Amino acid sequence: MEDADYFEGSAPEWGSEADGGAQDDEDGEGEDDAEVQQECLKKFSTPDYIMEPSIFNTLKRYFQAGGSPENVIQLLSENYTAVAQTVNLLAEWLIQTGVEPMQVQETVENHLKSLLIKHFDPRKADSIFTEEGETPAWLEQMIAHTTWRDLFYKLAEAHPDCLMLNFTVKLISDAGYQGEITSVSTACQQLEVFSRVLRTSLATILDGGEENLEKNLPEFAVSLVFGFCLVFFPFLCGKRSVLLSS
């Protein structure tokens, strides 16, 4: 039986990039200590906050503002509901009853994907980069897996204006998975990503031979037209405006 968790929820280590260890020690400078403490205590009061990647950042701010360790221990323990651990326990029980581990993993992942799609908040997602100040380590880990890349494609389609999702699509393209980005509107959000997708589509046509031309050519044509409309046309309009104003 595999020891791998089906619901990853472990927090980063002290001083890691994910917890913002490289941030300046004066994060709370200029803020009232009492306000900082109340803001942090509010976060500590949310369910399972101890599992959040930002836990160490919040602890750091709280203690720098003179917060009491006793309050932290009480709030984190009282609000620990162990959702991730419960999922892992149930998954292990299913495996012990004879269900295949891969089937259990697929069931958990599919349910989690449906919940994320249903409850996704673009504003909260965009705030991740404001709080982290850099690419979160967990995001880079997620795009290494097909299941979660597919999730990001679906979310990017539903929320095209979300900066976090657009950045994630670029990360996926940078990692060499542009061939998976079959959605035209997702690919056309950024010129660099679109160029890679277009190049991959063209290579598919050339490598596929005449027998696959009927299937691949329409997709390539649609990508080309949408790409011109969403990327190149606004660029040309901007150039024209500059010429007319000069």
Would you give the distance in Å from CA 30 to the centre of its chain?
31
Q: Do 153 and 183 form a contact (C-beta atoms < 8 A)?
A: yes
125 and 103: one domain? no
End-to-end Cα distance, the chain = 71
Whether 55 maps to a domain, the answer reads yes
Do 240 and 130 lie in one domain? The reply is yes
Task: Tell me, yes or no, whether 115 lies in a domain.
Answer: no
Residue ending a domain, choose from 110, 131, 163: 110
Q: Which of the listed residues 87, 110, 133 is the one where a domain comes to its end?
A: 110
Assigned domain for 77 exists:
yes
Whether residue 59 is found in the same domain as residue 154: no
Q: How far apart are CA 98 and CA 108, in angstroms?
A: 16
Q: For residues 43 and 55, is the Cβ–Cβ distance under 8 A?
A: no
Does 57 lie in the same domain as 29? yes
- Alpha carbon of 200 to those of 91, 177, 233: distances in Å? 39, 10, 22
Question: Would you say 179 and 200 are in contact if contact means Cβ atoms under 8 Å apart?
Answer: yes
Q: Quick check: 104 and 141 in contact, CB under 8 A?
A: no
What is the rounded distance in angstroms from the CA atom of residue 4 to the CA atom of residue 11? 16
Instruction: Indicate the helix (H) or strand (E) that contains 189.
Output: none
> Same domain, yes or no, for 23 and 51?
yes
Sign of CA dihedral 57, 63, 64, 66: positive
Highest mean pLDDT among 11-25, 52-66, 127-141: 52-66
Assigned domain for 35 exists: yes
Instruction: Find where tokens 């596929």 sit.
Output: 208
Assess whether 234 and 125 both reside in one domain: yes
User: What tens digit of pLDDT does each residue of 206-242 get?
Assistant: 776 666 666 666 666 665 655 555 555 455 555 444 4
pLDDT value of position 242: 41
Average pLDDT rounded to a whole number, residues 139-145: 91
Asked if residue 190 and residue 75 are part of one domain, the reply reads no
Cα-trace Rg, the chain: 23
164 neighbors 184 (Cβ within 8 angstroms): no
pLDDT in tens, 18-27: 444 444 444 4
pLDDT score at 49: 94
Domain count, the chain: 2
**Tokens of residue 75, six digits:** 């709030």
* Distant-in-sequence, close-in-space partners of 234: CB < 8 Å, separation ≥ 6: none
pLDDT digits (tens, 9 = 90+) for 158-208: 998 888 998 898 898 888 887 777 665 666 666 666 776 677 667 776 776
Whether 66 and 128 map to the same domain: the answer is no
What pTM value is reported for the model?
0.62
| Residue-number span of the structural domain to which 5 is assigned | 1-110
Q: Write the CB contacts of 59 (distance below 8 Å, at least 6 apart in sequence).
A: 40, 72
Residue pair 107/77 in contact by the 8 Å Cβ criterion = no
pLDDT reported for residue 77: 95
- Phi, psi angles (nearest 5°) of residue 5: -75, 145
Is the same domain home to 103 and 215?
no
